Structure 1
């Protein structure tokens, strides 16, 4: 197992390098640039041609594309994600300020997803073709079909603008200086809608996979053998069917966490949450390439790490799987 993990980590290095090249080239090919506003003819009175040239030299924008990439990659290997074109601050420092908020939102969303999806998926499979199964399947398909931004706007309309129960933006009330349990309650009220949006969309998708995996496991010979041995239905479902049916579910979960980070871009923008997703949107508007590259590389690394974790969990769940 250890040698397998080491090989996978080594294989991730050229994969990340290829991803970085692709992302860097695509970003550089997008219309506009970090100096697009200054280059606008309407800005000529404020920014002279000499000042504009100094800015281009400062950021190395006149250098060939491959030179800029190699410079950025060399800095990245030293742990330097570069400096923001917009703020002049280190990119890693800016991401470090935002990523705890994103971890909080996505972590709570993932926890709620697990608490909802597994019971619903298991009961739906055990009681196949029941009223609960039809209802949960219909709701799951509806949840997959509804865009997350539309769901967020509907929640805002109902619970903020109509009922006035929940705050509409941020993580805390800027007009108050709460402390202790009151501050915790204020933070919880601000998190209800963002977490609900991410959790419902993820639950709708995951429930369908859990139901399909459990239906396949329940129909296997080992499940029938467990019942023939006189084991209780609860033990048969949870110890035998769920454990063996969890292997395809692990694959989905490995991709679900990076998907939550991607979904946070929309949720954090709508609810004005100061997380990494909102930073990505702000940087995209300003063509702040170093910040965009830093966020995209972190997202790519998460995808690779969670896929590696899924491969390791395969061997834990199924003793027949061996890595040599």
Structure 2
């Protein structure tokens, strides 16, 4: 098992290096610092002096890879590649184009993002698995048919509709919760209740259909027929055997999602006014703050790779065959 995990870790490093190099090429080769300055300044006839000043204030006036004007090791380190790209490997994201410390913003906004994303993930996983098990238990009945129809309806509706509808009905008409905003501590429950419910409902249809298909596939296998032949009840077969073996493919989707929880939800945080990393990314895109966008893309790639590694680790825990590879 250890050799299996070491191979996965060794594959992760070149993947992350490739993502970093691709980001550098997109932001500094395909789109030059002059192009970023013109886009940020937002003027069609901006002067070259204004462009040079914008670049100098943000460190974009340095050479890309080799600084011949510097001395010693600074010839390589005092470049855009090292200061703006390579430092991300040690999680040093520097300052945004507006001059704010990105690491400080990440630490501040990570809490609200997790406060929203974790309940949505855990509650959604529990509800989806429970609902899918119920449909599998009552398979080929009107309950199963009605549940599948409901899932298709939920999948066919945009998540934005749930957000706007929830804000209008629950927050405005019924006045049960605030429409938007966020407060720390116990007061956050009032502000997070509606976004959590909306997040669970928005992802319920697709997840239930997927889990139901997994459980139905397991029900048709030989070990289930053997368990029934030994006299086990249908509920015992479903919960003791089908659920356990069905969790192996479910872990693939569930564990990969865990690291992305840190990035927050772009739509939910923006519409509900939650100061998390999702809304932070949206604000950076609208403000054309390229430093923040680069940092968030790199963090997303890093967390996705970590999610794949966590998936491999979870496989070794639930599937003995993986441990022998």
TM over 0.5: yes
Match status 1:84 vs 2:96 = yes
Match status 1:38 vs 2:41 = yes
Aligned partner of 2:239 in structure 1 is: 238
Aligned partner of 1:178 in structure 2 is: none
Q: Distance in 2 between matches of 1:262 and 1:203?
A: 21
Q: Quote how far apart the aligned CAs of 1:3 are.
A: 2.1
- Once the two structures are superposed, residues 94-120 of structure 1 have per-residue CA deviations (whole angstroms, 9 ceiling, x without a partner) of 111101111111101011112210110
Q: Quote how far apart the aligned CAs of 1:235 are.
A: 2.5
Shift in CA distance, 26/262, structure 1 to aligned 2, threshold 3 Å: farther
Unaligned segments of structure 2, at least 5 residues: 66-78
Match status 1:119 vs 2:130 = yes
Q: Distance in 2 between matches of 1:100 and 1:34?
A: 32
Q: Distance in 2 between matches of 1:270 and 1:214?
A: 36
List aligned pairs for 1:70-149, cutoff 5 A: 70-86=82-98, 88-149=99-160
Residues 294-303 or 91-100, more deviating: 294-303
Match status 1:172 vs 2:167 = no
List aligned pairs for 1:211-230, cutoff 5 A: 211-230=212-231
Match status 1:209 vs 2:210 = yes
SS of alignment partner, residue 33 of structure 1:
helix
Shift in CA distance, 221/70, structure 1 to aligned 2, threshold 3 Å: same
Shift in CA distance, 232/220, structure 1 to aligned 2, threshold 3 Å: same
- TM-score of the superposed pair, with normalisation by structure 1: 0.86
SS of alignment partner, residue 152 of structure 1:
helix
Shift in CA distance, 19/41, structure 1 to aligned 2, threshold 3 Å: closer
Q: Quote how far apart the aligned CAs of 1:34 are.
A: 5.3
Q: Quote how far apart the aligned CAs of 1:37 are.
A: 4.8
Q: Quote how far apart the aligned CAs of 1:162 are.
A: 2.0
Q: Quote how far apart the aligned CAs of 1:187 are.
A: 1.9
Match status 1:15 vs 2:15 = yes
Aligned partner of 2:192 in structure 1 is: 191
- Once the two structures are superposed, residues 116-170 of structure 1 have per-residue CA deviations (whole angstroms, 9 ceiling, x without a partner) of 1011001111211222212221222222222212210111111122222220111
Q: Quote how far apart the aligned CAs of 1:241 are.
A: 1.2
Aligned partner of 1:269 in structure 2 is: 270
Aligned partner of 1:3 in structure 2 is: 3
2:165 to 154, 165, 186: 154
Q: Distance in 1 between matches of 2:86 and 2:23?
A: 16
- TM-score of the superposed pair, with normalisation by structure 2: 0.85
Shift in CA distance, 97/56, structure 1 to aligned 2, threshold 3 Å: same
- Once the two structures are superposed, residues 206-231 of structure 1 have per-residue CA deviations (whole angstroms, 9 ceiling, x without a partner) of 11111011001111110111111122
Which is bigger in relative contact order (C-alpha 8 A, separation at least 6)?
Answer: 1
Moved beyond 6 Å, runs of 4+:
none
Unaligned segments of structure 1, at least 5 residues: 174-182
Q: Distance in 2 between matches of 1:265 and 1:34?
A: 26
